[in-house]
Structure 1
Amino acid sequence: MKAMLPESVRATGADILLGNTYHLMLRPTAERIARLGGLHGFMNWDRPILTDSGGFQVMSLADLRKLTEEGVSFKSHIDGSKHMLSPERSMEIQRLLGSDIVMCFDECPALPAERAQIAESMRLSMRWAQRSRDAFGDRPGHALFGIQQGGLEQDLRAESAEALRGIGFDGYAIGGLAVGEGQEAMFGCLDYAPDQLPSDKPRYLMGVGKPDDIVGAVKRGVDMMDCVLPSRSGRTGQAWTRRGPVAIKNARHADDPRPLDETCTCPACTGYSRAYLHHVFRAGEMISGMLLTWHNLHYFQELMSGMRAAIASGTFEAWEAEFHAQRALGDIERV
């Protein structure tokens, strides 16, 4: 979490962090992290850690990688060194990192794509899922998640889900979305994809997302999500609030004594004005990213907490209606 101490992340209410297998395997390397006691001790986080498989980042290196049945060979974007990432190597790296939730190795094609390409990719991912399961072995206290693929094709998603259920996993992810298809198409897929997966295991939507994406996904049966958005937005001057995003660089904030959100109890809102946040962002001060990231993490944690409470009390529809009503108001300018 850039611009945040682990203790500060925990103070927002976060229980789990995601570690990036691709970046960690290249620098400082999984072997070095293992020698230093594993990722928990290395980064001073004593709560659960989920690691992705590395597949998504490798697949994004279209000009630097070669895909075969065995896995993916690629050149590091850092120094050009050659590497091979297979289901077995991905499981080994994640074991060395010591993560609590491990993702199986898969291929994630960008959308839009031809149906034949999506089908071929999905079936390769299912073969890799079996190899990931075999390589993971029996590790009490650690969980392995399978990843459903199939693009926007309902029958291919069903085929993928059936294959994953046959292998057996501790949780199930919905992969291959939030890769350029747009919210309407994503929601159309989520109208059926979660129901194709076991309802007694966590269902995890990878790489999502914006607040309205998250609410729509939860409404359709998703339990878990991940996204870099809160911290990346904070570093680039975007704050997320109950009334939508605020671009703090805009000149209208230069003399505004109000907080980002009068109802928010994060340090950025209780101690600093929009005018100050505007100033430090425009001046390139380090504290800008720190405060805006803290605010965004606080907002997203409250968003999730609110949904959990609404689901538990049977009032999710009313909560959702209020969520959309607040966002429809927009960020009100100072009068």
Structure 2
Amino acid sequence: MVLQHVTITETRPEGLGNQALRLEPTGGELQPFEAGAHVDVHLPNGLVRQYSIASAPHRRDHYLLCVKHEAQSRGGSQYVCEALQVGTELRISAPRNLFPLHAGETQVLVGAGIGLTPLLAMAESLECDGRPFVLHHYSRAREQVPFLERLLRGFSHGRVYLHHSRDGASPRQHIPREISAPPPGGQLYLCGPEAFMQRFGELALEHGWAAASVHREAFGGTLAEPPAEGDEAFEVLLASSGRLIRVEADRSIAAALLEAGVDVPLSCEMGICGACTVEVLEGTPEHRDSVLSEQERTGHMTLCCSRSRSARLTLNL
């Protein structure tokens, strides 16, 4: 994986508990990206984390990220919010998009908390293209909304609605009009905690949205399932070399391969980025990721978290 060097040129709070970072290229140009994309950020402390790009895709001079300071941080958000400062150099991957915009007459963007980040890039892209959209954002209170100033400026081609639980508009009770009355040719995008996306995804289907028109991004709500009681060891056969590698009950496939000297492209190690996806030639995977669609799971699996229902898996490695 080729990494690009960038420099933090600005840090600022964006809503209570969130920190925005402006990244500019240390040399050369930033790679183009489409709305909904994210980058892998290689932090100076050795961690790698995925953050959605919030800036407008037509702006090539910088990427804008926004990170929530999680109370139960695994080290990433705490380090970003407390240690990184203007002038710090970082290495980032090329943008990858697992949450792209689709063709549709009306784009409906619904997010909660820091889930606004990729939706803001979508809004900027749609605004630039002159395409109509509606953006609903949920937070506990106004002061927690990321990029509030930008949202309040509004858009020529989109409508923005801010909902605050403290004012009685909790996502547990409130339903956006566009979800209860699907617009013709609409596409729905959900980003936020898993329970939030689950609720609105189910509501959309109940109100007549087609499943293919409902898109979700897990930005930290659903992580890979840990080894569970009852997990059993199995074998992995590498098709290119014929090597047979045993995966113990308490080890991931990725860990077993790395220990055997096999190079594995790892990034999040939580089943949310898709970097370690590989083709399965024989055997039955047990999927534990939250990134692959049901269609993508036919013949593929993630190595960082998924396991095997069969005694052996043959992988295209």
Calculate the TM-score normalised by the size of structure 1: 0.33
Normalized per residue, the structure richer in helix is: 1
Calculate the TM-score normalised by the size of structure 2: 0.34
Structure with greater contact order relative to length (CA < 8 Å, sep ≥ 6): 2
